[in-house]
Amino acid sequence: MKFGVVIFPGSNCDQDVIEVLSRTSQKPVARLWHKDHDLQNCDFIVLPGGFSYGDYLRSGAIARFSPIMQEVIAHANKGGYVLGICNGFQILTEAGLLPGALLRNIEQKFICKNVYIKPETNTLLPTRHLDMNKAYQIPVAHGEGRFFADTDTLKQLNDDEQVMFRYSDENGDTNACYNCNGSLESIAGISNAGKNVFGMMPHPERAADLELCNVAGLSIFESILDSVPA
């Protein structure tokens, strides 16, 4: 399994993801520049967090048209794995690879803090080896993280086990009062219908090092690595 991390102008979490993936997989991780048309034979593509193209227009709206995204879209449509974190999630919705949209936070403020998320299914690569009864403390840092979708889309996401995470308290209670940004049904992460494209607003790469006193996010990367061929 070869990982590649796309770097857009304004990406600021690319090196964090590269470091975590390199450490956990013990293999080099390819850096994929936004102007390129070559995925370097990567099997799993990560779109990192940040402020691609300065977040002008809607977050992710310009990055969606980067040359590399033509290849990412083709890769995903062929069943290849793609993970979008924060701004990467926004880009995936703009590209139509994930349903729904990410709107301005309900209080119209940028949020940067630790939150808890609870896995909702073990049928997806990032959650396959997570404890379904446990809440994971993962930081968020976004201004447009409020997940929105129409009624039919929400029903499909729930019926087909495409909801990956919901915001919760430390005990896994997903009551709306623990929803940090107003996302519908406290949704913090989803997959596509094919279950090969994943998006989440929290930053697991920022919670994957003992020096940060939090390794909860490492479990998500380990779940991915344990679930796919070496």
Domain with residue 161: its CATH number is: 3.40.50.880
Instruction: Determine whether 203 is an active site residue.
Output: yes
pLDDT of residue 207: 96
- From the list 42, 71, 75, 86, the catalytic residue is 86
**Which tokens hold the place of 191?**
């997959």
Instruction: Determine whether 177 is an active site residue.
Output: no
pLDDT of residue 99: 98
Give the integer Cα–Cα distance in Å for 73 and 59.
Answer: 18
In 3D space, the residue among 137, 24, 38, 41 whose CA is nearest the CA of residue 80 turns out to be 41
- From the list 94, 120, 144, 205, the catalytic residue is 205
pLDDT of residue 56: 85
pLDDT of residue 103: 97
**Which tokens hold the place of 17?**
């993801």
**Residue entry with tokens 């003992």:** 210
Q: Which residue range forms the structural domain that includes residue 25?
A: 3-227
Instruction: Determine whether 180 is an active site residue.
Output: no
The SS3 of residue 62 is coil
Q: Fill in the amino acid letter for 38.
A: D
Whether the CB-CB separation of 7 and 34 falls below 8 Å is answered with yes
- From the list 94, 120, 203, 222, the catalytic residue is 203
pLDDT of residue 57: 84
How many structural domains compose the chain? 1
In 3D space, the residue among 14, 11, 136 whose CA is nearest the CA of residue 3 turns out to be 14
**Which tokens hold the place of 90?**
């926004």
Residues of the chain with pLDDT under 50: none
pTM passes above 0.95 = yes
**Which tokens hold the place of 208?**
């994957």
**Which tokens hold the place of 135?**
């809440």
